[in-house]
Amino acid sequence: MKGKNVIITGGNAGIGLATSIALAKQGANVYIVSRSKDKAEEAIKTIAVESGNKNAKYFVANLSSQKSIRKLASEIKNEMSIVDVLINNAGGTFSDFALNEDGLEMTIATNHFAYFLLTNLLLDLIKKSDSGRIVNVASGSHYQGKMDFESFTKKKSYFIMKAYEQSKLANVLFTNELSERLIGTNITVNSLHPGFVKTQIGNKNATWYSGLFWSVATKLGAISVEDGAKTSVYLASSPQVKNVTGKYFDKCKEKEPASLALDKELGKQLWKISEELCPIA
């Protein structure tokens, strides 16, 4: 990975930070995206200390906002001439229904629309790489997911896990549809489940009881962030998956995703609706 340019969204915390450190250790030029300048600066210091690689840099953007993502993409284009790896990792859970400034429900906006828009805006830069890779951090939660496109913009019996599962199913559907669209290019795109990982994701935007539930559950059964980063690092860097595309991985191994995630018609519908609600141009 020496000299490769890698962008990691949500690289300031949790699985994203551990992924950034691991790839910096391999010699990559790591660029993290964080919504906070302070957190980004702290993370850059941590990456340098933990990896011994001082090349890490950061961009600041709110990935729940299309305006902010478009600004981010133009800053990336000014700063970088090639992107070798894009890791869409930033994500969250939201206890309460809320719409973002684009009129999209926060879970789907942050977890799907950010992946969709940032990836599409950066495709030209990734195509400049000899062998570009896009890695989408999904979740095993996608197996429970159902798509309800109306819920992207309307409150319909909102429940935190239902919204999260849908957004993670969207990650796998998006990956599979994008891989078809990238046939004939030098870019691969894969999705993954990182494991049940001890991070703060379930304590953010949480009610006290959902936060407490997450804290107890992760104390009892979750793996470390270093272990949680392994599949992202594998898909970003391993020669074993150089030519593998449109697949879902768990524990660094290919795995059959949910049957809904393999529904090509559903993937095409998701793409069409995503373009309508979030124009790429």
Ligand X SMILES: NC(=O)c1ccc[n+]([C@@H]2O[C@H](COP(=O)([O-])OP(=O)(O)OC[C@H]3O[C@@H](n4cnc5c(N)ncnc54)[C@H](OP(=O)(O)O)[C@@H]3O)[C@@H](O)[C@H]2O)c1
Report which DSSP code applies to 69.
Answer: H
Which distant-in-sequence residues (6+ apart) come within 8 Å of 277 by Cβ?
102, 104, 113, 152, 153
CB of 196 to ligand X, least distance (A): 5
Q: With binding defined as CB under 6 A, does residue 70 bind ligand X?
A: no
Q: Is 49 exposed, middle or buried (0-12, 13-18, 19+ CB in 10 A)?
A: exposed
Which of 29, 51, 53, 62 lies at the binding interface for ligand X (CB under 6 A)?
A: 62
Q: State the number of binding residues for ligand X (CB under 6 A).
A: 27
Which of 197, 233, 235, 258 lies at the binding interface for ligand X (CB under 6 A)?
A: 197
CB of 265 to ligand X, least distance (A): 25
Q: With binding defined as CB under 6 A, does residue 194 bind ligand X?
A: yes
- Active-site residue, selected from the candidate residues 31, 115, 164, 248: 164
Q: With binding defined as CB under 6 A, does residue 137 bind ligand X?
A: yes
Choose between 39 and 57: whose C-beta lies nearer to ligand X: 39
What does the DSSP assignment read for 101-153?
TTS-BHHHIIIIIHHHHHHHHHHHHHHTSTTEEEEEE--GGGGG----GGGGT
Choose between 57 and 128: whose C-beta lies nearer to ligand X: 57
Q: With binding defined as CB under 6 A, does residue 163 bind ligand X?
A: no
For residues 159 and 32, give the distance between their C-alpha atoms in angstroms, rounded to a whole number. Answer: 30
Report which DSSP code applies to 95.
Answer: S
* Alpha-carbon dihedral 140, 180, 274, 196, rounded to 10 degrees: 10
CB of 41 to ligand X, least distance (A): 13
CB of 103 to ligand X, least distance (A): 16
What residues numbered 86-105 form the site for ligand X, per CB under 6 A? 89-92
User: Integer distance in angstroms from the first to the last C-alpha of the chain?
Assistant: 31
CB of 166 to ligand X, least distance (A): 12
Choose between 42 and 185: whose C-beta lies nearer to ligand X: 42
192: three-class secondary structure by DSSP: strand
Stretch near ligand X under the rule CB under 6 A, chosen from 125-133, 153-161, 189-197, 234-242: 189-197
Residue with tokens 């850059």: 44
Q: How many CA atoms lie within 13 A of 177 on its CB side?
A: 22
By Cβ distance, which residue is nearest to ligand X?
A: 14
Q: With binding defined as CB under 6 A, does residue 63 bind ligand X?
A: yes
Q: Catalytic: 158?
A: no
Count how many residues are written for the chain: 281
Residues with catalytic function: 164
User: Where does this chain bind ligand X (CB under 6 A)?
Assistant: 10, 12-16, 35-36, 39, 62-64, 89-92, 110, 137, 139, 193-194, 196-197, 199-201, 204
